[in-house]
């Protein structure tokens, strides 16, 4: 099977932004192609055009020299273009097989035979008759891949497939993808992770601001060269100093942290104990859904538990709510910046007022002191280089990076002794990530402590002094960051053990 896919001068313009600007690319089967770019570079739009979700304003797509019209996802399926999105489209409560049979026209018996063949051929181990909600993220992704394979795809597009996977699952995936490629399936791999491009792909196209800026073979590239192409400037990265905290004062001590939830979709936390020194950064790694969100809420005071003891600067604060904890100089930056850390419909200064600490005088005698809040907001906008000085702007109009700078700024401008943050750079572009990381390293150097809960191991290795892993609500032993490797983290994140 020889497949040739040509994209010719595709343009897509959204109000206020050119998502794709005359993009032309050629792909041939037998190779794995990477499409690399920051968030907002136009990768997703291009993928949506190829999968029929979005119609281009201009340009054509040729599959084996035939001009194909992709007006809907059905057209993409008809032309044997398969797509695995970053977020899974599976019915959680239906069984694996039911999920596969929903959009198949084949008879059940026939389909089951075919699926079993696929399972055997690629050595996938999935029970077809258990509900999807019992599967791990890696298994769910395999179900999505099987769903594409059933249709004998000529082209398989993977959109940021490793963001939810462990190191081991990622390795598995890469083995499968290479196999598909050898069988003649054309693979387009969308990512912003540079290492993956180099280890998996044969060719790489870099996109920036809607344009293709470079197409090259991966053996001509290095991480630095790709990063610079992606960002379009030479990045300087600051490195964290290695510190010894043996003689530092202990600032936080958590003992006996237990949490049993009534909600089956939440994770129970089992006997967590840890402590933190002044100026130290503790990184907590793990695949999402292993109790991170519950742990964050207990640290912030959104969830109050009976047995837990939280000693912060020699005071017991476990029964205090988030506002009261802020009075003791704690600060929190939750994972969900759009619907929790800020309200998109509120103006910037109103979002700043959410962090109402006592000395702020935002609300004197119960009345809103708008002038004070606005002055304070202006200070945050300029100190944390948010890309606007209009405090009346609704925060929904801020980009992800600017919103996160605003939130981190709001939390840090009160000089807290401890910042707890959860996936602080999730979904941000390289520039913003770098800025947030520098900010977090800076506060440690000023003697303030931080806890970073993150699913991004590179981030944790860069920021943390000590690292542990959360798996199914339990914490691994806490290790010095200098002794930790991504492989070690991967094993712990998948539930394995190391000595």
Which residues lie near other proteins (CB under 8 A)?
A: 72, 74, 78, 103-105, 300-302, 321-326, 332, 334, 336, 339-343, 345-346, 350, 353-356, 363, 366-368, 396
CB of 336 to other proteins, least distance (A): 7
CB of 12 to other proteins, least distance (A): 17
Q: Which is nearer to other proteins, 260 or 368 (CB)?
A: 368
Where are the alpha helices (H) located in 130-222, listed in sequence order? 137-149, 167-182, 194-200
Cβ neighbourhood burial of 233 (10 Å; 0-12, 13-18, 19+): exposed
Q: Which is nearer to other proteins, 411 or 429 (CB)?
A: 411
Residue pair 424/408 in contact (Cβ under 8 Å)? The answer is yes
What is the C-alpha to C-alpha distance for residues 187 and 306, in angstroms, rounded to an integer? 52
Q: Which is nearer to other proteins, 274 or 357 (CB)?
A: 357
Residue pair 338/348 in contact (Cβ under 8 Å)? The answer is no
Which residues lie below 8 Å from residue 8, measured CB to CB, with a gap of 6+?
A: 24, 59, 60, 61, 62
CB of 334 to other proteins, least distance (A): 6
CB of 217 to other proteins, least distance (A): 39
CB of 119 to other proteins, least distance (A): 22
Which residues lie below 8 Å from residue 107, measured CB to CB, with a gap of 6+?
A: none
CB of 130 to other proteins, least distance (A): 25
**Cα–Cα nearest to 174, from 8, 18, 34:** 34
* Diameter over CA atoms, the chain: 75
CB of 489 to other proteins, least distance (A): 28
Q: Which is nearer to other proteins, 100 or 200 (CB)?
A: 100
Q: Which is nearer to other proteins, 55 or 178 (CB)?
A: 55
Residue linked to tokens 């520098």: 438
Q: Which is nearer to other proteins, 174 or 422 (CB)?
A: 422
What is the C-alpha to C-alpha distance for residues 157 and 162, in angstroms, rounded to an integer? 13
Strands 309-312 and 281-285: what pairing?
unpaired
Q: Which is nearer to other proteins, 78 or 477 (CB)?
A: 78
- Helix or strand or coil: residue 28? strand
Cβ neighbourhood burial of 213 (10 Å; 0-12, 13-18, 19+): middle
CB of 69 to other proteins, least distance (A): 13
CB of 16 to other proteins, least distance (A): 11
Q: CB-hemisphere CA count at 13 Å for 165? A: 19
**Cα–Cα nearest to 307, from 270, 332, 277, 274:** 270
Q: Which is nearer to other proteins, 207 or 342 (CB)?
A: 342
Which residues lie below 8 Å from residue 80, measured CB to CB, with a gap of 6+?
A: 151, 152, 153, 154, 155
Q: Which is nearer to other proteins, 249 or 316 (CB)?
A: 316
């Amino acid at each position: 099977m020889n497949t040739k896919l040509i994209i010719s001068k595709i343009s897509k313009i959204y109000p206020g932004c050119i998502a794709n600007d005359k993009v032309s690319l050629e792909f041939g089967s037998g190779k794995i192609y990477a499409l690399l770019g920051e968030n907002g570079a136009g990768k997703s739009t291009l993928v949506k055009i190829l999968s029929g979700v979005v119609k281009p304003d201009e340009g054509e797509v040729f599959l084996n020299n035939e001009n194909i019209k992709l007006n809907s996802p059905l057209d993409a399926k008809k032309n044997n273009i398969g797509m695995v999105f970053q977020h899974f489209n599976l019915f959680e409560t239906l069984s694996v097989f039911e999920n596969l049979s929903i959009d198949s026209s084949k008879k059940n018996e026939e389909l089951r035979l075919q699926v079993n063949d696929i399972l055997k051929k690629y050595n996938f181990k999935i029970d077809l008759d258990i509900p999807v909600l019992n599967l791990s993220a890696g298994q769910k992704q395999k179900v999505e891949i099987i769903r594409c394979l059933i249709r004998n795809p000529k082209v398989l597009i993977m959109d940021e497939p490793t963001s939810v996977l462990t190191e081991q699952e990622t390795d598995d995936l890469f083995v499968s993808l290479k196999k598909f490629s050898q069988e003649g399936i054309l693979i387009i791999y969308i990512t912003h992770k540079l290492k993956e491009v180099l280890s998996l792909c044969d060719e790489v196209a870099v996109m920036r601001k809607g344009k293709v800026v470079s197409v090259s073979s991966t053996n001509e590239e290095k991480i630095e060269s790709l990063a610079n192409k992606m960002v379009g400037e030479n990045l300087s990265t600051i490195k964290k100093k290695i510190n010894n905290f043996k003689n530092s004062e202990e600032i936080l001590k958590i003992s006996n942290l237990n949490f049993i939830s009534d909600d089956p979709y939440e994770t129970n936390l089992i006997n967590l104990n840890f402590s933190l020194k002044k100026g130290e950064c503790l990184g907590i790694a793990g695949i999402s859904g292993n109790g991170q969100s519950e742990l964050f809420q207990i640290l912030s005071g959104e969830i109050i538990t009976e047995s837990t003891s939280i000693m912060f600067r020699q005071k017991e604060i476990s029964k205090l709510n988030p506002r009261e904890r802020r009075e003791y100089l704690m600060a929190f930056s939750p994972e969900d910046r759009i619907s929790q850390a800020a309200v998109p419909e509120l103006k910037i200064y109103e979002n700043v007022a959410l962090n109402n600490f006592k000395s702020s005088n935002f609300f004197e005698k119960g009345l809103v002191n708008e002038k004070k809040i606005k002055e304070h907001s202006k200070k945050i906008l300029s100190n944390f280089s948010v890309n606007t000085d209009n405090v009346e702007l609704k925060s929904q109009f801020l980009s992800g990076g600017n919103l996160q700078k605003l939130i981190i700024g709001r939390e840090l401008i009160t000089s807290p002794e401890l910042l707890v943050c959860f996936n602080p750079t999730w979904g941000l572009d390289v520039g913003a990530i770098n800025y947030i990381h520098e900010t977090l390293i800076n506060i440690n150097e000023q003697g303030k402590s931080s806890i970073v809960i993150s699913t991004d191991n590179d981030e944790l290795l860069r920021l943390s002094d000590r690292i542990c892993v959360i798996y199914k609500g339990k914490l691994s032993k806490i290790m010095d960051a200098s002794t930790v490797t991504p492989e070690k983290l991967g094993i712990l994140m998948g539930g394995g053990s190391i000595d």
